[in-house]
Structures are given as structure tokens and as C-alpha cells.
Amino acid sequence: MSRITNKWALLLMLFLAQSALSFAEVKLYIEDFSIARGQTAEVSLLLDNDKAVSDFQVDVILPEGLQYVEGSVDKTSRVGGRSQTVQASDKQGKLVIVMSSGVSNNTIAAGTGAVVTFSVEAENTASEGKKMLSLENIVISDINNASIATAEETQAAVTILGLGNCTFGAAVESLEIGVDEEYQVDITLDNEGIENLTAISGTLTLPAGLEIVPGDDGKFIYTDRTPSPLTFTFPEDGNTFLLSSSDNTVILGTSGILFSFVVKATDALAETSEIKLTDLRLAASTGNSTPAADVTIAVTKKVTPVVPGKITGGEGEVTTDDFTQALDDFMNPDVLNMDSSDPRFDAYDANGDGKIGPGDIMAIFYLSAGLNADGSQKN
């Protein structure tokens, strides 16, 4: 009798243990996500289950500033059977989602992935930053609706993005440019997650000796991120600009070059200077606007090395053009009286004796003939 009693006790313990473990590997959760103020995002409710599931219920506690989009809940392809239905009701920030089935063979097979999707909207006044979304009161039923388990509560981090998350920049942090050279400057905008930008404004300041070369569309070059009717206007004198449209057309994309402009250098350009974009500001279709950090690009004037005897300027070998020019220039007292502070001095001092005189004419002649400045053959 004792053996029989022990046998049934053992079987009962095994049954209870199996029942307790029947949903040991079940988890209902939402992955972390970001959403911008004034925008909507689709959220997936994911289920990891090691055996078939027929029904479940969960309370989704939405953080402040986030609202459920009425009627957006839907089941995914993981949910089999037409009689399997999903419903959602939102009451004071608690979204109750119920998946139910009246037919035992309509189940969610064992596996991993989304079972329900729904949309949320971030209020225009939602505070930026990271908030927590919680899944509570999770109850899950098996295929026979006989075993019901309460799954562990889970959380997801929700980052509310605002215009403050947008950053301007430049494709290059510094550039080198020579006199009479042109350079295209590309201005970038990183607005990952913000898809409702409708306007930007700012002031472009160029250093002395650097000027904009207007193109077909004016000072600035449009990109595929600035579709018509987005247009640059200059409401004030100088280089204060506004990119906007009359119908709130949005800036496309979330990263990359937003617009460009071409600059040209003159002799007045200093050895080092800066291009600056200041007073930058962004606006969204929600009516929100915010300032953005300045953009600074370092500019270095390219210095062409002086070639002794190359009095016509530029680089390369001394030619007969330089000798012909020297015959005229050395008749000019200003050239003969030139001192070492003159930027032309090193070119005219062809023989390198530290002064300008007739000997330099001969040196230029020798150099133009492919010889050394003293008339000797080059090695």
C-alpha cells in the first residue's frame, strides 16, 4: 500500500512540476523605440513562446505624452485562424490588449516574433527624453485554455525626440583654397526620427577674401532633400536666409547634405579664417521651433610656392616668357628697389644673392634655357 501511495505522490509531483513549467519560457514584450513629437509610430507586441498559445491579455502602460491611436491595433501573420481576434481599449493611459479565440485549434504556434501591432502618437507638447513603457497584468492561455500563467512584467524604453535632436554640420570641417579657386561647401542636417521639418533659417558669414559664386538658383544649391516648393529667401540684407514653403512642404530624408554653396577666394583672403553659420533655427509642421548649434568651417589659404625666376607667377619651370617679362620689369625702378618684404621678392631674386639687380636677369635667362641660375648644367 505504501508503494502505491508513493507512486501516486510522485506522479502528482511530476504533474504539478510540469504545469508550473508549462509557461516557463513565455515572454510578452516590446522593444525600445523612438518617436518624434507630433508623429506616430507603429509598435510591435512580441511573444516568445515555447508552446502554442491561444489567448492572452496585457495592460500596456503608456508614458506621459504618448497616446494610443484609436483603431490601430491589428494581429500579425503569426496569429492563425479567422476567429482569433484582437481588441484594444485605452483608459487613462492604460491600454488593455486582449487576444481571444473561441476555437481551440486557432493558436499562435511556438516561436518568436510580433503577434500584435498598434500605433501610438507623441503629443506636440510631450517632453523630450527617455521614458518607460510597461507591460503589466500579463495573462496567457494555452491551446486548451486549461493552463493559465501570469508572465513576468516587462518594460521598454521610449525616447521622445524633439527638434533639439537635430544637428547641422558640414561635409568637411576644414578646407584649403587658393586665390581664384572655387570650392563647393556642403551643409548637412541630421534629423534622425524627425520627419516633419518644414523650415530652417540662419545667417551665413564669410571671411574677407571669400565670396559666394551664384548659380542658376541663386546663392544656394538645392538638393533632393529640398523639393519644390521649398525655396531659399533672404528676408534681410546680407546673408540671412530662410528655407520654407507656403504649404508646409517637409524636408526629405533624415541625414545627408541639405544644401550647398560655392565660394571663390581672392588675394584679400587671410592665411587662416572661418566660414560660419549662426542663428540657426528649425521649425516643424506642428508649429514647434528650436535653435540649433552653430557650424564653423576652418579655411586655409593655399600658398603657391615661389619659384626663383618664375616672375610671371604660378608653378613649374622658368620659361622664355619669364625672361621676356624680366627685360621689361628690370627697367622699372620699383622692381630694382624692391625689398625682401615684398611678396614678389623671392621670384625676382633669381640668383639668390638677397638683392635685385642685373645678375638676376642673367639668372632668369639661364633658368629659361634649362640651366642652373649660374649657367651651369643641371645634374
Average pLDDT score, the chain: 88
Please determine, for residue 236, whether its predicted confidence score (pLDDT) is greater than 80: no
Average pLDDT over residues 276-302: 94
Inform me whether the pLDDT recorded for 173 exceeds 70.
yes
Distance of CA 361 to the CA centre of its chain: 59
> What is the band of 15 on the pLDDT scale with cuts at 50, 70, 90?
very low
pLDDT at 29 over 70: yes
Please state the rounded mean pLDDT for residues 351-365: 92
pLDDT confidence band for 282 (50 / 70 / 90): very high
pTM recorded for the entire structure: 0.62
DSSP bridge partners of 295: 277
Cell numbers found for residue 270: 587671410
pLDDT score recorded for residue 21: 39
End-to-end alpha-carbon separation of the chain, Å? 117
Q: Which cell goes with 162?
A: 524633439
CA-based angle 109:114:119, to the nearest 5?
Answer: 145
Give dist(CA 161, CA 350) in Å, integer: 65
Grid cell 545667417 in the structure block, residue? 203
Over pLDDT 70: what percentage of the chain?
90
Pairing verdict, β 154-161 and 33-36: parallel
- Quick: pLDDT tens for 242-277: 999 999 999 999 999 999 999 999 989 999 999 999
- Return phi, psi of residue 367, to 5°: -60, -40
9 pLDDT exceeds 70?
no
Give yes or no for a contact between 41 and 61, defined as CB atoms under 8 angstroms apart. Answer: no
Tell me which residue has cell 495573462.
139
With residues binned 3-state (H G I as helix, E B as strand, rest as coil), the percentages for the chain, rounded to 5, are 15, 40, 45
Q: What is the mean pLDDT of residues 86-101?
A: 88
Give CA–CA dist 189/157, Å, rounded: 26
In whole angstroms, what is the distance from residue 168 CA to residue 257 CA? 10
Q: Report d(CA 243, CA 246) in Å as an integer.
A: 11
Q: How confident is the model at residue 104 (pLDDT cuts 50, 70, 90)?
A: low
| Confidence (pLDDT) at 351 | 93
Give me the residues paired with residue 85 across strands. Answer: 100
Q: What is the largest CA-CA distance in the chain?
A: 135
Torsion over CA of 95, 101, 104 and 106, rounded to 10 degrees? Answer: -90
For residues 199-217, average pLDDT:
96
Predicted confidence (pLDDT) at residue 19 exceeds the cutoff of 90: no
Range in 27-31, 101-105, 191-195, 258-262 the model is least confident about: 101-105
pLDDT tens per residue across span 135-156: 999 999 876 655 556 788 999 9
Over range 45-58, report the average pLDDT.
Answer: 90
pLDDT of the residue at 18: 45
